[in-house]
Chain A
Amino acid sequence: MTDVQAPQTLQPEAGFGDFVQLLKPRVMSLVVFTALVGLLVAPVSLHPIESFAAILFIALGAGASGALNMWWDADIDAIMKRTRSRPIPAGQVAPGEALGFGVALSGISIVMLWLATNGLAAILLAFTIFFYAVIYSMWLKRLTPQNIVIGGAAGAFPPMIGWVAATGSISVEAALMFMLIFMWTPPHFWALALFMKEDYHAAGVPMLTVTHGRKSTRTHILVYTVLLIPFALWLGFTSIGGPIYTAVAVALNAWFLYGAIQIWRRDEAQAEADKYKVEKAFFRFSLLYLFVHFLALLADRVAGGWV
């Protein structure tokens, strides 16, 4: 018997920045931007402090669902190169802490959005968190190759919540902003999956590229791009559209369709030969596509739209 005991394995204490990382700040920036546009283009304007609070709590709600997603997916995050350095697999934050943080922040953001704006906006935020954390992360992500399509809905809610925070009701404009992001998500992520294939395969996530093959994924990208275009253009002819948005949407959608056709026409040998140049360019352009669409809505709001 000895007095010397083996040192216990200590969980490193998480820093403030580690908790910020749990909120997926990059995804949050898209949420902030789209929710802000949804709120600003609405026909009813809130007090600046109410607007600030609304955007802040929508973003925090989205961040909370990100923390819950990281808590649930810590096992596969540890396998994938892209996600290996996230706070839980990196050992910076204990899984229980991430769960508590996500649940607490969800509650705070929902209640505060309700107090700052209205009940419908808070209900939509609660549904978004539930949808992303439970329906997508826990249930469908590891079950079906259509996970990206379904998960896209969670990312599509923020502009609708921004609109509802201002107006108190859902309208065709809010629904079309939702559809724009919802239909955009599959081609955006499947293009990523085409050139990040080893990651998803190693983690056993049923990505379309793994379950249906790469040719089928290319076809899916084209089909979803074709389905996306009517929604993107339709938005231009609603009360929040205008000449700027319509001109921008026509140009962006024509280019996006051209990119999708290029991807569809290529085979793996060609893609391997140029290291997925077209797929990577399409993915980068898809980010610009969404950003500029929402920026154009804002520009039309300032310019006065069709009148």
Chain B
Amino acid sequence: MSFKVEHEIHTRRFGRNLGLGLTLVAFVVLVLGLTVVKVTRGMTGHQMDAPGLYGASVPDPEKAAQ
């Protein structure tokens, strides 16, 4: 048996905290999903590099032909 009186403000605060918590969890899941998609597609920030540059995801066509 609880002696603590539940005030309306506690219910409201709990609702807000729960909502915020679930939003943050959803955000983390989304960022994780996005990361997986970007990494598996090889989009690590090098897709705009010129062909043949060090670390570029686009191979140098001349070297590839050799």
Contact = CB atoms under 8 A, between A and B. Distances in A.
B15 A15 contact: yes
A56 B30 contact: yes
Nearest to A92: B12
A13 interface: yes
A49 B16 CA distance: 27
Contact of B18 (A14, A16, A52, A56): A16
Contacts of B18: 16
A136 to B, nearest CB: 28
Contact of B15 (A16, A47, A50): A16
A181 B46 CA distance: 37
Contacts of A19: 16
B37 A13 contact: no
Interface in A38-60: 47, 49-50, 52-53, 56
B34 A53 contact: yes
A47 B39 CA distance: 12
Interface string A5-41: 0000000111111010000000000000000000000
A16 B13 CA distance: 8
Interface residues of A, number: 15
A115 interface: yes
A50 B20 contact: no
Interface residues of B, number: 14
B34 A50 contact: yes
Interface in B37-54: 37, 41
Tell me the interface secondary structure of chain A in the complex. helix
Contact of A49 (B12, B13, B15, B34): B34
A15 B16 contact: yes
Interface string B19-39: 110000000001001101100
A298 to B, nearest CB: 24
B16 A115 contact: no
Interface string A239-260: 0000000000000000000000
A291 to B, nearest CB: 27
A207 interface: no
B16 A14 contact: yes
Contacts of B9: 12-13
Contact of A50 (B12, B13, B16, B37): B37
